[in-house]
Structure 1
Amino acid sequence: MPDTFSYEVLESFGTLSEAENGWQKELTMVRWNDREPKYDIRIWSPRKERMGRGVTFSKEELITLKSILNQIQL
């Protein structure tokens, strides 16, 4: 298993929050290791050269999540 990986942020859909150090929690579309792009929620450094842990979704999973969120009364 390789020690390195590659990623490309294809699109940023919006920022959920921003920390005092400038890192932002965002919903993005990311291509990991030249695979099919996925939707992704995680924290990114200001220029997206570093990232924190996050959660990755296929399109179908994101559609399901959207449906669940729409049912929650806030």
Structure 2
Amino acid sequence: MTRWEYMTTPLLIHNTAAILNNWGAQGWELVQVVPGPEGGLVGYFKRPVGGGADNNAGLRAAAQAAQQFEEA
């Protein structure tokens, strides 16, 4: 059975393609886009767990996305 890890990130309207391409290059698949609680959009992503992948990669990726969102 495939095990999945999940991640959410804000999608900045002026930079959506770059954000999606960045997560896709790291193996994340966009599952859904929903309105954020404070406006804007939030992307929900998933990717398979394992296969030699770094177990903390998802946490680091989410932290990086949060930092980018705060700087925007």
Q: Relative contact order (alpha carbons < 8 A, sep ≥ 6): 1 or 2 greater?
A: 2
Higher share in helix? 2
User: Shared fold by TM > 0.5?
Assistant: no
Larger Rg: 1
- TM-score, length-scaled by structure 2: 0.29
Higher share in strand? 1
